């Protein structure tokens, strides 16, 4: 597997490979790879002749009080893992390479759906994501790009951006990869102490409780959210940022479940912010 650090090298490599019409699948990541990231790469491997992954901890999507400086970074380990699942080329630019002037005068902003859920506590986050993904799309020019349902709002933002701005790329969503006990895999799980790791299971348990109620016929979101909140509140030192049930596309909160909805939550376990979600309804998760 090739590891490239400059935009010029990436463009030359891609242009050379594309000559015979090979399809490029692309997985943008911030590294510290786990099975969640690798599951995206495995799907991309099946659907494309060339698979490109990027590793870039994007300063533009971190708030001033967030973990940009401490975010786990290990390019050597990531390269080994990516190679094992068949990634052909890894793009790992420095921040100076991607942002020779920082902050840039040009950014990409999706409105409305970025103002809900995680957008409330992380102002500017989705602008940072949309801007870096636009840059990466322009550099790699993939046919398909792969995103995890784990960051549900992010996928909806990217899909909206791609539709609104006519990017010639297909966005594919890959289901959430979980640990054996149900905790959604995340690079940030590494921050959890052993005891916090145990308490973090309440996210998954709250989502399970929600699924059970839904299957028994409950459709009132207020009642479902109450039960989820009670489950999480049983734990010590856990702060709920939000528990919401929203239309799966517009991300508007709903009172009654109809069609497909996303049940999304963000919770602080100690000082680590974790998110998780499930889909309910027509396109329910199993």
Q: How far is the CB of 267 from ligand AMP (least distance, A)?
A: 16
**Ramachandran area for residue 164 (φ above 0: left; ψ -120 to 50: alpha; else beta):** alpha
Find the shortest distance in angstroms from Cβ 191 to ligand AMP: 13
Coil, helix or strand at residue 219: coil
Tokens of 256: 């009654």
Closer of 31 and 221 to ligand AMP (Cβ): 31
| Site for ligand AMP, rule CB under 6 A | 29-30, 36-37, 39-40, 147-148, 150-151, 174, 176-177, 184-187
Active site residues: 37
Handedness of CA 50, 55, 56, 57 (dihedral sign): positive
List the structure tokens of 268: 């602080």
Which residue, 132 or 280, has its beta carbon nearer to ligand AMP? 132
Alpha helices in the chain (DSSP H): 7-18, 35-47, 75-84, 95-98, 118-121, 125-140, 152-164, 194-199, 201-215, 221-233
Q: How far apart are CA 273 and CA 188, in angstroms?
A: 8
Q: Quick one: three-class SS letters along 95-113?
A: HHHHCCCCCCCCCCCCCCC
Between residues 36 and 93, which has the closer beta carbon with respect to ligand AMP? Answer: 36
Least Å from the CB of residue 243 to ligand AMP: 19
User: Minimum distance from CB of 58 to ligand AMP (Å)?
Assistant: 8
């Amino acid at each position: 597997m090739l590891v490239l650090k400059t935009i010029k090298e990436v463009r030359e490599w891609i242009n050379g490979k594309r000559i015979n019409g090979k399809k490029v699948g692309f997985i943008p990541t911030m590294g510290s790879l786990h099975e969640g990231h690798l599951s995206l790469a495995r799907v991309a491997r099946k659907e494309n002749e060339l698979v490109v992954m990027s590793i870039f901890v994007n300063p533009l999507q971190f708030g001033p009080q967030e973990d940009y400086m401490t975010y786990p970074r290990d390019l050597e380990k990531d390269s080994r893992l990516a190679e094992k699942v068949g990634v052909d080329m890894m793009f790992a630019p420095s921040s100076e390479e991607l942002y020779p002037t920082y902050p840039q005068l040009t950014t990409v902003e999706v409105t409305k759906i970025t103002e809900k859920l995680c957008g409330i506590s992380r102002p500017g986050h989705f602008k940072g994501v949309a801007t870096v993904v636009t840059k990466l799309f322009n550099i790699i020019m993939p046919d398909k790009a792969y995103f995890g349902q784990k960051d549900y709002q992010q996928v909806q933002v990217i899909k909206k951006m791609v539709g609104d701005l006519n990017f010639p790329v297909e966005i594919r969503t890959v289901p959430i990869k979980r640990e054996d006990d149900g905790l959604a895999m995340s690079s940030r799980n590494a921050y959890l102490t052993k005891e916090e790791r145990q308490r973090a299971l309440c996210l998954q348990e709250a989502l399970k409780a929600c699924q059970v109620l839904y299957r028994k016929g409950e459709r009132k979101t207020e009642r479902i959210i109450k039960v989820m909140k009670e489950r999480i509140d049983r734990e010590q030192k856990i702060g709920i940022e939000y528990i919401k049930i929203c239309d799966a596309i517009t991300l508007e909160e709903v009172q009654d479940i109809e069609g497909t909805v996303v049940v999304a939550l963000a919770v602080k376990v100690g000082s680590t912010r974790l998110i998780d979600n499930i889909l309910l309804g027509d396109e329910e998760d199993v």
